[in-house]
Amino acid sequence: TVFARLKVPAQDGAGGLLDHGVHAFIVPLRDEAGRCLPGVEIHDCGYKVGLNGVDNGAIRFSHVRVPRTNLLDRFAAVDKSGRYSSPLTSEGRRFAATLGELTGGRVGLSCGSVGVLKGAITIAIRYTAGRQQFGPPDSAEVSVLDYQSTQLKLLPILATAYCLHFAKDHLVNLYCEMKRTKDAQLIEEVHALSAGLKAYTTGYTQDALSACREACGGHGYAAINRLGQLRSDHDIFQTFEGDNTVLLQQVTGTLLKVYKAKFKGAPLSSTVTYLKQYMSGVLPHNPLVTHETDVRHLRDPAFLRSALRYRVARMLFTLQLRLRSQRTKLGDFYAWNSCLSHILALAKAHVESVALGAFQAAVDGCVDPDCRRALRALCDLYALRCIERDMVFRNDEYVAPAKAKAIQRLIEALCSELRGVALGLVSAFGIPDHILRAPIGLGANSGVNIYKEYLAAVGFDV
């Protein structure tokens, strides 16, 4: 499939060409013997940073002709007389519909990236749980995972891996419903969510891969333990099927449309219905809630959900004010560029809010009490970490200084609590050893000695 501009003769007989924008065409590349057809030139891209088992190349066309019927005509057609027709009235809508078919690729990338994240955190948790280093005088050494610094480095990653697992399941369900119903509003919703979740997940996973590698020390740097290869292979996830920075801007663009639709009384899609009650612009803070530091309040699902939703609505309100102000001075393009950091932060905040909603729904649906307790701790840790790391809550006086400190203490306590079940939580991912293939990350629960496995893998007689 080749994406190219479609130009047809003007119907007024003046001899000019009308450009209808980018369309998709089927273009044969090789003959039955595998040779390039006339006018087609193909070259391999050469060695890449990673994924060298995947062929990537460049194609150049020189005066290649294809039949009119090779135009993929779901969104547009050209009849024998050269007359162009389309059920979509604008070039922008046709372009969006054509590229909208890439949504499935973004859904797949989100799923694949979550799988890489699960593998990396499994290796890191198992290694740091088994690796012992230092300890009190005249006592046994303690596991690296028992150090608070390691817990704060790895356990929020574990919590995010679980959160993104449930978020991508939510996206997959919406995608399947979209393909079944072809509902226009759902198509737009899935397009935005797939763009946002792909960008957020792949960006987070790439950073987490480095954190997991560092947590495993020198053994993490050994190629045989695969963290380096995972990092190299995953790197491209951030730019193919859409550059992450561009995709996040699409999410914010959709949110701005939602903001306008709200005031016109138009219905909102399920992913953003929560914005209705938050988009009044000026929401007074309850001083009691702002300063509340009780653990029951801080772990209240309603508080955590409301906090992340408030952030999105507040950032959306302030963004539209900034854009309106800047447009009068700079015009649309430069106004958007001057607000770009705000735009990207808003998109990430929206994805985190949607992901938390999916995670909380999964916790509510868990019937096993021990499993539910662990999932609840992971969910709370994820949400609290989002609040702790974003200055918006403190700058906007949504979280008072004493409450911010209480949140930090609670994060440390949750990490300590989850330390005891961390091995079970990574084993619950169900990644077989022959898939993980990292000697330092093999099944700790099955009595595997990670040092013997590693030494044997690099050639020592053990």
Given 101, 177, 241, 388, which residue is catalytic? 241
Tell me if 321 sits within 8 A of 256, measured CB to CB: no
Could you tell me the two tokens for 437? Answer: 């293939």
Q: Which residues contact 275 (CB under 8 A, 6 or more apart)?
A: 255, 258, 259, 262, 268, 309, 312, 313, 316
How many whole angstroms separate alpha carbon 271 and alpha carbon 246?
20
Distance CA 378, CA 380 (A): 6
How many whole angstroms separate alpha carbon 310 and alpha carbon 284?
11
* 47 vs 56: CA distance, rounded Å: 9
Check if the beta carbon of residue 219 is closer than 8 Å to that of residue 126. no
41 is annotated as an active-site residue: no
Residue 176 and residue 169: Cα distance in Å, rounded?
11
List alpha helices for 222-270, DSSP H.
Answer: 227-235, 244-264
- Cα–Cα dist 327/174, whole Å: 35
Residue with tokens 């949140």: 407
Provide the 10 A C-beta neighbour count for residue 234: 23
DSSP string, 13-60: SSS-EEEEEEEEE----B-TTSPBPTTEEEEE----SS-TTS--EEEE
CB 453, CB 440: distance < 8 Å: yes
Instruction: Give CA–CA dist 252/258, Å, rounded.
Output: 10
- Integer Cα distance of 218 and 213 in angstroms: 9
Q: Please report where in the chains the tokens 């590349």 appear, as a residue.
A: 29
H runs (alpha helix) in 365-421: 369-389, 392-395, 401-419
Residues tagged active-site: 241
